Amino acid sequence: MCVCVLCPGAHGVREEPQFVTARAGESVVLGCDVSHPLNGQQTPYVVEWFKFGVPIPFFINFRFYPPHVDPEYAGRASLHGKASLQIDQVRSEDQGWYECRVLMLEQQYDTFHNGSWVHLTVNAPPTFTDTPPQYVEAREGGSITLTCTAFGNPKPVVTWLREGDQLTSNRKYTVSDGSLTVQAITREDRGAYSCRAHSDQGEALHTTRLLVQGPPYIVSPPENITVNISQNAQFTCQAEAYPGNLTYTWYWEEDNVYFKNDLKLRVRIFIDGTLIIYRVKPEDAGKYTCSPSNSLGISPSASAYLTVQYPARVVNMPPVIYVPRKLPGIIRCPVDANPPVTSVRWEKDGYPLRIEKYPGWSQMADGSIRVAEVTEDSLGTYTCVPYNVLGTMGQSPPATLVLKDPPYFNVRPGGEYRQEAGRELVIPCAKGTITHHNIKGVTLHDFQNHRIIIATVFTLHDRLATGGYTLHDFTEGKIADNSVWSANYVS
C-alpha cells in the first residue's frame, strides 16, 4: 500500500511513506520529522500516532507530560527523538500502516503540515495456535484426526511426520490443511506423530503420541524348559497393551493352574506374568499356556512345555503276577523314568536274581524278564529296582508269581454245519470267542449260553455267512487250542 498525503500550506507536500521491517520480539523505530516555522521559533507541538483503520490515536505526547498510550501498546511504545515512535517487543499483530501527525501550537498555517506515513512489516517465526494433546487415544479398527494450526509471517507450511518421515495422503493417512487423519488403526500405528510448521523465518515442532486401545500382544512368549524333580520351574510371559491393566492367567493343559488340586498350592503368578512352580513333580510335566488380558477384545495365548526329569521309579507293581504253566511268560517291572531307564536289577525271594542261571530266561530292553517256558522254577516273590542316569527312587513292592493252567474247551463245535437260508443256525461251545477268519464284513451276534447264533436271513445269492470259523478261548489272556469248523447255507 502506498499513501501520499497532500497538505496545503507553506511547506507544501508531506514526506514520502517509509517501509520498515522488524522481527517479532525485537524493537523498531517508526520515523517522523518535525519542521519548525521559517522564523526559527521553537513553538510547542503535539505528536500523535495512528494505526490505519483506527480513528483515534493510540499514542499522544505533549512536551514534558506523560504520554497517553493505548493499552495494546502500554509498556511497549515510547517517543524516540522529536516525534518518532519506538515499539519494543514487536508483535505480529503490530504489522500495518502507521501515520504520524505533528500539531504545531500557536501557528496560523496548517497545523497538520508535519508528519509521515510508515508501513511496518513484522516477520515472525512459526508459532502454533492450536495443537492436539500430548497423548491421544484411539481404538483398534477406528480412526482419529490430529490438527495443528500455526501462525507466522510469512505464513508457515504445516506438515506431519512419523519417525522422521513426512507423511502424505494414501490409504492409511489423509493429510490436508494441517490435519492428519489415521484410518483403520492397528497396534502398529501407535507411537509419536510430529506436526512441523516451517517458513524462512524458522520452524516449530509439536509431537503427539498415539495410544492404541486394544487387547494385549505377547512380546515375550514362554519357552520350553526342563528341570529335575524337586527343583523350581519358571516360565516367563510378557505382554504389552493399552490400557495396561494386565492380568495373567496360566493353564496346565486345559485347566487353570489354581484349579488343579496337586498344583495350586505350589504355583505363583507374578504381576509381570512370570509363573513359578515350586518343587516340581513328574506329574507337573506337560503344556503350560499363558493368557494375558486387559478386558478388551480376545486375549492372546502362548504355550510352552515343561519336562520333568526324575530317577527311575516303579509304578503300580501288582501284588500277584499270573503266568501260564508250560507256556511263554513275561515278568514285568512297570517302570516310569525320564530320562529312559538304563537297567533293572531283580531279586527273587530276597536274593539277587542271576538270570543266566535259568535256561530259557532273558532280560528285555525295558528290564522285564522273558521266560521261554514257565515251570515251577519260576515260583517265588520278585522285586525290581530300575535305574536311569539320575538314579532310582527305590525298590518295587514284592510281587508273588502264581502259575495258572491255560484254558481248554469242554464242548467243541462240529466240523461242518448245514442250514437252510433264513433259518437259525446254532453252534455249541463251552467257552471262548468265535472269529470269522476268511469272510470279510460278517457281523456275528453275542454269545448266548456258550453258543453262537447266526440269525441273519440270506438268499440263495447272498452267501456272506458261508465260510470257515475259528473258536478261541482267551481266559486270563491266554489262547487255548483252536477249534475250526465251517458253516454253509443251502437253498
Burial degree of 456 (CB within 10 A; 0-12, 13-18, 19+): middle
> Which pLDDT belongs to residue 234?
98
Task: Tell me which range, 14-18, 177-181, 438-442, is most confidently predicted by mean pLDDT.
Answer: 177-181
Provide, rounded to the nearest whole percent, the portion of the chain with pLDDT above 90.
67
Tens digits of residue pLDDT in 314-349: 999 999 999 999 999 999 999 999 999 999 999 999
Tell me the pLDDT tens digit for each residue of 115-125.
Answer: 789 999 999 99
Going edge to edge, which strands form the sheet with 467-472? 416-420, 483-490, 467-472, 433-436
User: How large a percentage of the chain has pLDDT more than 70?
Assistant: 80
Query: Looking at the domain 131-214, which fold is it?
Result: Immunoglobulin-like (2.60.40)
Q: Which CATH architecture has domain 18-124?
A: Sandwich (2.60)
State which CATH number among 3.30.420.40, 3.40.50.300, 3.10.180.10, 2.60.40.10 fits the domain covering 315-404: 2.60.40.10
The pLDDT tens digits of the residues spanning 26-61 come to: 999 999 988 766 656 677 889 999 999 999 999 999
Each residue of 445-487: pLDDT tens digit?
Answer: 444 444 444 443 333 333 444 445 444 444 444 444 444 444 4
- Residues 41, 155 contacting (CB under 8 angstroms): no
What are the tens digits of pLDDT across the range 349-380? 999 999 999 999 999 999 999 999 999 999 99
Quick: pLDDT tens for 170-217: 999 999 999 999 999 999 999 999 999 999 999 999 999 999 999 999
What is the pLDDT at residue 40?
61
Spans of all domains in the chain:
18-124, 131-214, 221-311, 315-404, 416-490
Check whether 444 has a pLDDT greater than 50: no
**Cell numbers 475259528 correspond to what residue?**
470
Closest residue by Cα to residue 455 from 468, 442, 467:
442
Mean pLDDT, the chain, whole residue set: 84
Q: What pLDDT score was predicted for residue 428?
A: 75
Instruction: Report the alpha-carbon distance of residue 103 to residue 123 in Å, rounded.
Output: 32
User: pLDDT tens digits, residue range 380-427?
Assistant: 999 999 999 999 999 999 999 999 987 766 777 777 878 788 888 777
Q: What is the pLDDT of residue 455?
A: 40
| Dihedral (CA of 16, 22, 24, 28) sign | negative
Q: What's the DSSP call for residue 134?
A: S
What would the CATH number be for the domain defined by 221-311?
A: 2.60.40.10
Q: CATH assignment of 416-490?
A: 2.60.40
The pLDDT value recorded for residue 303 is: 97
Residue 441 has pLDDT above 60, yes or no: no
> Whole-prediction pTM value?
0.59
Average pLDDT of the residues in 242-254: 94
Task: Please report the pLDDT score of residue 3 as a whole number.
Answer: 32
Q: Say if 315-404 and 416-490 have the same CATH topology.
A: yes
The 3-state secondary structure of 93-107 reads: HHCEEEEEEEEECCC
pLDDT of residue 41: 66
Which of the 8 DSSP states describes residue 477?
A: G
